[in-house]
Structure 1
Amino acid sequence: MKKLLFLLSFILFFSACKEKTEQSIEKTNERIASSNEELAKIFEDYYQGVLKMDPISATRAGDARYNDRFVNILNDSVKEEMKLFYSSNLEKLSHFAEEDLNENDLLSKRILEWECTQNAKRLSLPDYTPINQMWTINLVMGQFASGASAQPFKTVKDYENWLKRVDEYLVWFTAAQEKMEEGIKNGYVLPKSLIIKVIPQMESMAEENVEKHLYYSPIKNFPESFTEEERARLQVEYTAMIEEKIVPAHKNMAEFLKKVYLPAGRETSGFGALENGDQIYQSMITYFTTTNMSASEIHELGLKEVARISSEMEKVMKEVGYKGDLQSFFNYVRNKKELMPFTEPQQVIDNFNAIQVKMEPQLNKLFETKPKTSFEVRRTEAFRENSASAEYNQAPLDGSRPGVFYVPIPNASEYNVYADEDLFLHEAIPGHHYQIALQQENQDLPQFRKVLWYSSFGEGWALYAESLGKELGLFEDPYQYFGMLGGEMHRAIRLVVDTGLHSKGWTREQAIQYSLDNEAEPEASIISEIERYMAMPGQALSYKIGQIKIRELREKAERELGDKFDIRKFHSEVLEAGCIPLSLFELKIDQWIESNK
């Protein structure tokens, strides 16, 4: 009987404990669910706030609500609003305990904290050089104006939206000149060699023949649904916009650049010559690499990588039977007529399409998920072709427009194909197109993460993708493999010359010569690249830093998982979260390795 009573008491006690435990778990789950809902709202509000603050990015993402807007980020009050936006989001995030969050929400929280912190810091950097030859918003507006980019021209409202956006853009354009005038007074000006490249871009937009003007392009391509009355009205309005606004503004800017800004331009090449230039450069290193590496650490890493890749290049040189030294082999490859087989730009495009067909059957061996977003190769627009590099422009989030790999072909007869397989792997498949499209298509990510871009991850992935060529059935031709080594060498050289220019007092000419001595790129291309680094310090470092981290973590996974390692699952793990800072990426892969042991 005693045993029976004891057992009954124990059952009652256990039931009571179980009920309390279940109630406690239920309350905890409610708290976590409630927190996650609140956190999800913060993520969504942040995303919507960013679209409103940056309507150009909204258009690129396929969100049409702000297609008539252009925010003048050079305005001090606008900057203060943005800083408040980032600081208020950081304050909101601080109320969520990390132990209460699931894995995906925890990663999103940490990413958003990084994003807000770094963007707020960037807003505090000097803005006296808002226009350069490569990266600035006036070039994006030129792309939009062509009617072949993200700005839609499908309805009458689309055409009217563009007219309104241009009006707001010209406010920024005027402010840009004012900032450059301030920069002259404060010692923050572009190097002369960059100013010289900007002047022709401005002059091309001062074209007085309206029908030849880039901004007239949408009028030449009216949708069939437009009535004659609508066409006539828009033609008048676009003609007035070009004649009365665009042409005078760009004429004025071209004159300012030639007569005022160029004479005041710097003879020096790097940010180290500017007041607080070293601190500014270090902040840009942190932003673009998402690491705490110093300029000196990166410079030394670059020198080691250049030496390693050089030894690999010499092996290819011997394989093809070349008898000279490596530097003369670079010239041999640059000028080898057999590597310049084309006469028409379309032949260059066709060659890239053939590369895609060749590698397509091998992709299943390395990837278990492929993007649904369509893809195509296009020639870079003429107005920016002479100073542009090959690039990828992503599709909008709704997939209504394809991802586009742009290739500059200023002279088809001088176009060298030795690096085309490598270039396709980087800019297209499985490089930028795979990474960005899969990020945008991932329904588990909050919206703000679908459009995030960190160079260290995105460009690091694209450079890592180049190394997959042999696994994808490419690089059978030794010159194409040399092209891959050349691509990797190009990014290793960046570690040396970018830090050399901005932290070690290197001149433009010194950086150009170092590149000529260590890679096979044509001299004109090298000059364009060096001037790119001068215009945007730190960005070029992100490629190699990111690639090294991805390759390092793949080798760690292969080593620690042994027979359990699956390259397809590794690539899924790398790509599923989209672009994230490298420290968070390393933590994510380390956890994946542990969970698969």
Structure 2
Amino acid sequence: MRRRDLLVGAAALGMASPLAACATGAASTVSPGATMGAAMGGGADDARLAAMLERHAQALRAEEGGGDRLADYSLAARARHGQATAQRLAELGAVNRAALSAAAALDYDTARFVYEAMADQYGRYGFSDINLRPSPYVVSQMNGAYYWLPDGIGGRSPMKDAADADRYLDKLNQFAVALDQETEQIGHDAGLGVVPPDFILAKTLAQIAALRDSSPTGNALTAPALERAHEAGIAGLDTRAAAIFVERIRPALQRQSEALAALQPRADARAGVWAKPDGEAYYASALHSNTTASYAPGELHQLGLSWVAELSAEIDRLLRAEGLTQGEVGARMAALDRDPRFLKPDTEAGRQEIIDYANQRLNRVKGLLSRGFTVTPDRPVEVRRVSPAIQNGAPGGFYSASSDPAQPSIIYINLRSVEENALWRIPTLLHHEGVPGHHFQDSVLREAGELSLFRRTVRFSAWTEGWALYAEQLADEIGAYEGDPVGRIGYLQGQLFRACRVVVDTGIHHARWTREQAIDWMVTHAGEHRDAAEREIDRYCVYPGQACSFMVGKQQIAASREEARRRLGARFDLRRYNDFVLASGPLPMDVLAAAVRLT
């Protein structure tokens, strides 16, 4: 199924709906490789827009770094990115949207959303980029070069010959530069009054110290690469890598640590960005860019409360069917975490059993994909544990896509606590991060050959995370929990957890909840362990609004599906709808809804 076949609107073509045509197996009239504009008769205006966005995408990718070069993290680079964004927005404004085809207008609207959000964020403090997932703090327990780059540099740098070894060493040197560039911005933002909460500083300093004080050849930056170098017969790399770590990286980490430690006397426990300069406007901007929807913080807070109530009622019914009738829903779910049926030993062997179980469940859902899709790419993926070096600040699980076809993508599970990974919780994590969630989503996009470079470059948390949460529901719908009623409680707990995220994120940053208030609310209503809830709340503190993107995106995808079902009636095909959402590529939620209505 080609993306453009799906996005061509019935009104523009004067023909049957593409979704209806897909449902009946009718062939598309759009030829492979044709642009959407050409397919719809958009003409020169469409072509000019497509060329402009192609040029913009190339520039955006260059700004992010890639290949042998890391991104530029300096204040000067941030200023350049802001100026470039303003220029792109001005170029887009010169396009006559009314002259575009319906499909090209979707690309126009997508680009305008991106550039307006980026322009706003580059005018503020903190960290921002093409992901539209801003953080008021350049470095935190979940952000910064020390957090994001070691695994990629040490674990994914090619290591086949001496030339690869030299490129790897160059990246180590670049890593030291990136650290100092961030340290410069820490000082700059502190001068504006931007100081992370005291509990964020404490966690961040501990994690930086762990890398700084590690063995020069035994950390995430070096150990995996050196092991591959040894296997490839590359001699002498240990000594050269250790020298760079000791002489350049460790001092840069120390300078960053000192810059953050100097902020501690000014830090307090206020968790929300509301307490920072122009904080309420910062949150409104972050919420909009993350959800790609127009919700006021207070309105979204009330919606979150209603979603929590609905899901809690359904889980209560299922728990009662399992004989768990006493106490709050959260407490009864927590009781499942202590059930010996779902626990592995708190040992390294027990942790490996969890990983083995996860890989088995991942393979199980792969066999069900034909019930939910007609297009099922098969790219390798496996489950591994989060590195112990960062597990205290890391989320419960996350996905890391491989850029090398020869290497599998990874679903990471945080095994800091075995009890937090009771087996009834594992499948829905895999469906979210892996199949049919993020890994499947990434795989479809990689094989969508007609998706433009611009559409491959832009990213939206609501589309990405909304799909992954929708994928949890879809896994249930295609039979992933047949014969596993407790696993289905796990799926609903995952949905409840994301609804609770909406409540606590808006609570922290809008309603001015304290950190403890938010943690207590999450423990009580989501059935989360306190340690896990603490890590989650601290994540929301440094990424305002991002936690809301999951549920808002999922609700929009599901609502658009039901709208299409009502409109198409018996012609509606669930598999074709799911193909459509993925093949459409990343879109703001309002633009996705418009695309569905065009079909």
Same structural fold, with TM-score higher than 0.5 when normalized by the shorter chain: yes
Tell me: CA distance 1:242–1:336, structure 2 relative to 1, closer, same or farther (3 Å).
same
CA distance in 1, matches of 2:259, 2:275: 24
CA distance in 2, matches of 1:208, 1:495: 37
Offset of residue 223 of structure 1: 6.3
Q: 2:299: which partner in 1?
A: 297
Residue pair 1:373, 1:437 contacting (<8 A) in 2 also: yes
2:148 aligned partner: 140
Moved more, 308-317 or 371-380: 371-380
State whether residues 373 and 395 of structure 1, in contact with CA within 8 Å, keep that contact through their aligned partners in structure 2: no
Partner of 1:3: none
- Whole-Å Cα distance in 2 between the matches of residues 316 and 265 of structure 1? 45
Change (3 A) 1:576 1:301: same
Instruction: Give CA-to-partner distance per residue, 1:327-348, whole Å, 9 cap, x none.
Output: 4313312322222135422211
Separation (CA, whole Å) in 1 of partners of 2:146 and 2:196: 16
Query: What SS does structure 2 have at the residue aligned with 1:405?
Result: strand
Matched, 1:576 2:583: yes
Q: After TM superposition, what 4+ stretches of structure 1 lie above 6 angstroms from structure 2?
A: 28-31
**CA distance 1:515–1:45, shift in 2 (3 Å):** same
Report SS of the residue matched to 1:344: helix
1:285 aligned residue (269, 284, 287): 287
The residue correspondences of 1:46-195 to structure 2 (distance < 5 A) are 46-55=56-65, 58=66, 64=67, 67-72=68-73, 74-75=74-75, 77-98=76-97, 100-127=99-126, 129-147=137-155, 149=156, 151-195=157-201
Cα separation, partners in 2 of 1:42 and 1:154, compared to 1, 3 Å: farther
Aligned to 1:17: none
Q: Offset of 1:395 from its aligned partner?
A: 3.0
Correspondences of 1:353-432 after superposition (within 5 Å): 353-389=359-395, 390-396=397-403, 399-412=405-418, 415-432=421-438
Which residue identity is paired with 2:118?
N
**TM-score by structure 2 length?**
0.86
Q: CA shift at 1:35, angstroms? A: 4.3
User: 1 CA distance for matches of 2:494 and 2:545?
Assistant: 18
1:511 Cα deviation from its structure 2 partner = 0.2
Which of 498, 506, 515 is equivalent to 2:522?
A: 515
Provide the residue aligned with 1:25 in structure 2.
none
Corresponding letter in the other structure for 1:39: L
How far apart are the structure 2 equivalents of 1:275 and 1:455?
25
Q: Hey, what does 1:198 align to over in structure 2?
A: 204
- 1:340 aligns to 2:350 (yes or no): no
Instruction: Measure, in 2, the Cα distance between the counterparts of 1:288 and 1:35.
Output: 30
CA apart distance, 1:88: 2.5
C-alpha distance in 2, partners of 1:472/1:194? Answer: 41
Counterpart-to-counterpart distance in 1, 2:433 and 2:379:
15
CA shift, 1:36, in A, is: 4.4
* Distance (Å, rounded) in 2 between the aligned partners of 1:246 and 1:300: 47
How far 1:472 moved relative to its partner? 2.5
Q: Structure 1 residues 333 and 296, CA, compared in 2 at 3 Å: closer, same or farther?
A: same
Give the TM-score of the pair, scaled to structure 1. 0.86
Question: Is the partner of 1:242 in helix, strand or coil?
Answer: helix
Q: Does residue 476 of structure 2 align to residue 477 of structure 1? A: no
Q: State yes or no: 1:330 paired with 2:333.
A: yes
Q: Offset of 1:292 from its aligned partner? A: 1.7
Shift of 1:437: 1.7
Sort the Cα spacing of 1:78 and 1:570 in 2 relative to 1 into closer, same or farther, 3 A: same
Structure 2 CA distance for partners of 1:183 and 1:85, relative to 1, 3 Å: closer
2-structure distance, mates of 1:209, 1:358? 40
Say which SS state the counterpart of residue 540 (structure 1) adopts.
helix
Which of 442, 445, 450 pairs up with 1:439? Answer: 445
The equivalent position to 2:240 in structure 1, one of 220, 237, 242, is 237
Q: Distance in 1 between matches of 2:175 and 2:566?
A: 53
CA distance in 2, matches of 1:319, 1:264: 52
- Shift in Å, 1:408: 1.5
Q: Considering only CA atoms, is the larger Rg found in Structure 1 or Structure 2?
A: 1
CA apart distance, 1:51? 1.9
Letter in 2 for 1:43: L
Separation of aligned partners in 2, 1:351 and 1:378? 11
SS of 1:373's equivalent in the other structure is coil
Aligned-partner SS, 1:163: helix
Identical-residue share of aligned pairs (%): 25
Equivalent AA in structure 2 for residue 574 of structure 1 = V
Deviations 1:51-106 (A, max 9, x none): 21110xx3xxxxx3xx134312x41x322321232222233334443455445433
Aligned residue for 2:170, secondary structure, equals helix
Residue 270 of structure 2 corresponds to: 268
The whole-number CA distance in structure 2 between the counterparts of 1:386 and 1:363 is 34
**What's 2:227 paired with?**
220
Q: What residue identity is the alignment partner of 2:518?
A: A
Matched letter for residue 149 of structure 2: M
Residues 563-572 or 507-516, more deviating: 563-572
For residue 389 of structure 2, give the secondary structure of its aligned residue in structure 1. Answer: helix
Q: Is the 8 A contact 2:145 2:175 kept in 1?
A: no
Residues 212 and 403 from structure 1, CA distance in 2 versus in 1: closer, same or farther, beyond 3 angstroms? Answer: closer
User: Judging changes above 3 Å, is the alpha-carbon distance between structure 1 residues 440 and 451 closer, same or farther for their aligned structure 2 residues?
Assistant: farther
* 1:442 to partner: Cα distance: 0.8
Report if the CA contact (8 A) 1:272-1:504 is conserved: no
Residue 272 of structure 1 and its aligned partner are, at CA, apart by 1.2
d(CA) in 2 for partners of 1:413 and 1:334?
6
The 3 A distance-change label for structure 1 pair 47 and 373 is: farther
Q: Distance in 2 between matches of 1:533 and 1:413?
A: 23
Aligned ranges 1:517-596 → 2 under 5 Å: 517-592=524-599
Structure 1 residue 256 displacement after superposition: 4.5
Output the CA distance in 1 between the equivalents of 2:411 and 2:271. Answer: 31
Instruction: Please tell me whether the aligned partners of residues 302 and 496 of structure 1 are also in contact (alpha carbons under 8 angstroms).
Output: yes
Which ranges of structure 1 fall in alignment gaps of 5 or more residues? Answer: 1-27, 59-63, 593-597
- Equivalent position amino acid for 2:369 in 1: L
Question: Of 29, 34, 53, which aligns to 1:43?
Answer: 53
> 8 Å contact 1:129–1:179 — kept in the other structure?
no
Question: C-alpha displacement at 1:368, in angstroms?
Answer: 0.5
The answer for unaligned runs of 5 or more in structure 2 is 1-37, 127-135
Where 2:269 maps in the other structure, the secondary structure is coil
Match of 1:466 among 463, 472, 476: 472
Cα separation, partners in 2 of 1:500 and 1:382, compared to 1, 3 Å: same
Contact 2:424 2:487 in 1 (8 A): yes
The separation in 2 between residues aligned to 1:568 and 1:518, in whole angstroms, is: 34
Q: Distance in 2 between matches of 1:146 and 1:166?
A: 9
Using the TM superposition, name which of 564-573 and 278-287 deviates more: 564-573
In the aligned structure 2, how far is the partner of 1:40 from the partner of 1:489? 41
The 1:191/1:401 distance shift into structure 2, 3 A limit, reads: same
Whole-Å separation in 1 of the counterparts to 2:205 and 2:82:
33
Provide, for residues 501-530 of structure 1, a one-character-per-residue CA deviation record: whole Å limited to 9, x for no partner. Answer: 011110000000101110222211111000
RMSD: 2.4
Go from structure 1 to structure 2 and tell me whether the alpha carbon gap of 1:518 and 1:146 turns closer, same or farther (over 3 Å shift). same
CA contact (8 A) 1:302 1:495 kept: yes
